Homo-oligomer: A and B are copies of this chain.
């Protein structure tokens, strides 16, 4: 004899009927008509080859077979309901898993965690810091913050730009006194950030030098593959970076970095919010996006008094 179960809908009908000792009440619990429930019970009895209930006209009682079956189904269905309740609760619980690059996580998101938690104490935020392009079908994340131009990796996803970034030289105040004008940067220790290397047109020191009309070539003294490491080095006085204001905001506010020259390069690359279509309306996802957009507003203040040149305008 195979271990095959009968139609589960019929088993569920039986379970409800056995618990209520009433087909009408069982039908109500399952949101079906009494006719449907009666039919389900009958089909289960045919499957078994024996009655499960004695019909006493306006009431029913379990047969011996019915009692045998009910003993096992009640706790099993309760177990299924509990399992489903657990997993749906875990989903509906205001947990939000966000993935973003390590630099953005460390320099932009994490510092603001306190603001978000304060504004949304009911949402439990979880970070997953990786440069890998997360696949929403494969990876257990709700939201991603991606940097770049967008494109194929966003196919089939909900996407919205958050931060239209730009870069400008940033350095410790002591270094700013030593190199007081753009021309002096030709002799300054310049730090390279490799994480933007993939961008076209380039957003690097050569491009900035061209935008500044400098004929001298920039001399790179060190390379960093993670932007936050480069920022930390610059804030410690170790050199000058072509910094993104979004990543450097904290160091700027606390005076570890200054942006002494008004010239800045703009790019079409941007930080953007990405999630599976349809989940953007989930309460905690929507709350997170709204918060992101509000927080990003503060970056606009840094644009005041600056002169912007597009990286596309100075590309070779």
Chain A residues in the interface with B (C-beta under 8 A): 1, 3-6, 8-9, 11-12, 31, 48-51, 54-56, 63-65, 68-69, 71-73, 75-77, 79-92, 136-140, 279, 282
Q: Are A69 and B83 in contact (CB under 8 A)?
A: yes
Work out how many copies of this chain go into the complex: 2
Q: Taking each of A4, A55, A80, which has the highest tally of chain B beta carbons within 10 Å of its own beta carbon?
A: A80
Which residues of B are found within 8 Å of A49, using beta-carbon distances? 91, 279, 282
Q: Are B68 and A75 in contact (CB under 8 A)?
A: no
Q: Are A76 and B72 in contact (CB under 8 A)?
A: no
When C-beta atoms are compared, the residue in chain B nearest to A278 turns out to be: B49
Which residues of B are found within 8 Å of A85, using beta-carbon distances? 1, 3
Top 3 closest pairs, chain A to chain B, by CB:
A72-B83, A76-B79, A8-B8
Q: Are B1 and A88 in contact (CB under 8 A)?
A: yes
Assembled-state Cα–Cα distance A65/B95 (Å): 12
Q: List 12 A-B contacts (CB under 8 A).
A: A1-B88, A11-B80, A49-B91, A49-B279, A54-B138, A65-B87, A68-B83, A68-B86, A69-B84, A72-B79, A72-B84, A72-B87
Nearest Cβ in chain B — how far from A58, in angstroms?
13
When C-beta atoms are compared, the residue in chain B nearest to A78 turns out to be: B76
| The residue from B5, B63, B91 contacting A50, defined by CB atoms under 8 A apart | B91
Q: Are B48 and A88 in contact (CB under 8 A)?
A: yes
Nearest Cβ in chain B — how far from A24, in angstroms?
18
Q: Are B3 and A48 in contact (CB under 8 A)?
A: no
Which residues of B are found within 8 Å of A9, using beta-carbon distances? 8
Which residues of B are found within 8 Å of A92, using beta-carbon distances? 1
Which residues of B are found within 8 Å of A137, using beta-carbon distances? 51, 55
Nearest Cβ in chain B — how far from A255, in angstroms?
42
Assembled-state Cα–Cα distance A212/B314 (Å): 134
Q: Are B1 and A5 in contact (CB under 8 A)?
A: no
Q: A8-B80, A69-B84 are in contact. List 13 more A-B contacts (CB 8 A).
A: A3-B81, A5-B80, A5-B84, A51-B137, A55-B137, A64-B140, A65-B87, A69-B87, A72-B79, A72-B82, A73-B83, A76-B77, A76-B79
Q: Are B48 and A91 in contact (CB under 8 A)?
A: yes
Assembled-state Cα–Cα distance A119/B299 (Å): 94
Which residues of B are found within 8 Å of A91, using beta-carbon distances? 48-50, 65
When C-beta atoms are compared, the residue in chain B nearest to A4 turns out to be: B31
Assembled-state Cα–Cα distance A56/B138 (Å): 7
Q: Are B76 and A80 in contact (CB under 8 A)?
A: yes
| The residue from B1, B69, B136 contacting A86, defined by CB atoms under 8 A apart | B69
Nearest Cβ in chain B — how far from A130, in angstroms?
15
Q: Are B54 and A140 in contact (CB under 8 A)?
A: yes
Which residues of B are found within 8 Å of A11, using beta-carbon distances? 8, 80, 84
Assembled-state Cα–Cα distance A81/B69 (Å): 10
Which residues of B are found within 8 Å of A79, using beta-carbon distances? 72-73, 75-76, 79
